Amino acid sequence: MDKRQRALLALPSGAFANSSAFQVFEDMLASIYDGEIAPGDPVSENDIAKKYGVSRTPAREAIQRLRELGLVEASAGRTSRVVLVSEQTIRHALVVWEALMMAAADETVALIDAADLELMQANIEDFREAARRGDAGSAAQANYNLFAVLVTKSTNPLLVKSVALTVHMIRLGGLSMPRWVDTNLLGAAQVALVAALRARDVGAAKVAIQTAANFRLAPDQDHADPAEQ
C-alpha cells in the first residue's frame, strides 16, 4: 500500500504501516467490505489474535484503527462490534461527502492530468462490470477509487482524511442497504465528472458530484428509520 492509498484510508505513513498490526488491520478492513465480517458482528482481541497468529497487542492496535475510522465500536464487556449504520446516518454522511468533494473540486480540477483521466475511465469500466454482475462490493470500490483520484490531488491533509472517514461510513452502511444504490444514476455521474475534468470545468464537476451524492433511493416504509416516521 503506497502513501497515497494510506491517505485515502486516513492512515499515517509511519511505523504502523509496516507493522503486523497494519497487516491485520488491512485484512480485517477487506473482510468487512467483502461481507465476511458483517455489521453488528462481534470483534474480540482474542479471536483476532488467534485467527492471525499474533499477540493481543497488534490485534488491539488493528481494532483501534478500525475504531478511529468509525467502523468498529465498543459493545458489552470488552468486546467490540462492527458498526450498524442507519439510513439516516448515510444521508448525513452523504451531505458531508458532497460538501467536502465540492471543496476538493475547487482545488484539484486544474491539477488532473491525462494519466488521472485514464485511471478514472478504467474505474468507470470496473464499476459497470461489477454492477452488471450484481457485485455491490466491487462496484462500491470502483466508485470509491474514481472519486479518490480527484481527492488525492489535494494538498490539504485534513480534507483528504475527512473524505476518507465519510466514505468509510457510507460504504459500511451500503453493505446492508444495497437498495440505496441506483447504479444508472451513479454511473452517469461518473461519466459526467470525467467529461468535466477533461474540460477543466469546475462548475460541471460540482454538478456531477452533486448528482453522485444524490444516488440514494427513497426508503421504503418497511425499513424507514423510526426516528423519521
Q: What is the pLDDT of residues 109-151, one digit of tens each?
A: 999 999 999 999 999 999 999 989 988 778 888 998 899 999 9
Domain for residue 156, yes or no? Answer: yes
Residues 83-98: tens digit of each pLDDT: 988 888 888 999 999 9
Same domain, residue pair 190 and 164: yes
Residues 6+ apart with CB under 8 A from 202: 105, 106, 109, 110, 196
Q: Are strands 72-74 and 80-82 parallel, antiparallel or unpaired?
A: antiparallel
Same domain, residue pair 52 and 101: no
Domain for residue 67, yes or no? Answer: yes
What pTM value is reported for the model? 0.80
Same domain, residue pair 10 and 106: no
Question: How many Å apart are CA 169 and CA 69, to the nearest integer?
Answer: 8
Same domain, residue pair 145 and 99: yes
pLDDT category of residue 11 using cuts at 50, 70 and 90 = low
pLDDT category of residue 5 using cuts at 50, 70 and 90 = low
- Specify the pLDDT at position 18: 59
Give the highest mean pLDDT range of 2-11, 44-53, 103-112: 103-112
Instruction: Say whether pLDDT at 219 is over 60.
Output: no
- Specify the pLDDT at position 195: 98
Residues 62-86: tens digit of each pLDDT: 998 898 888 999 876 667 899 988 8
Domain for residue 223, yes or no? Answer: no
Same domain, residue pair 190 and 97: yes
Same domain, residue pair 66 and 10: yes
Which CATH number characterizes residue 31's domain?
A: 1.10.10.10
Same domain, residue pair 95 and 208: yes
Domain for residue 75, yes or no? Answer: yes
Domain for residue 183, yes or no? Answer: yes
Last residue in a domain, options 82, 100, 133: 82
Which CATH number characterizes residue 161's domain?
A: 1.20.120.530
**Are 153 and 94 a contacting pair, CB within 8 Å?**
no
Residues 140-188: tens digit of each pLDDT: 889 988 999 999 899 998 898 899 889 888 888 877 665 667 888 899 9
Alpha helices in 152-201 (DSSP H): 157-175, 183-198
Query: How many independent structural domains does the chain possess?
Result: 2
What is the domain range of residue 112? 87-213
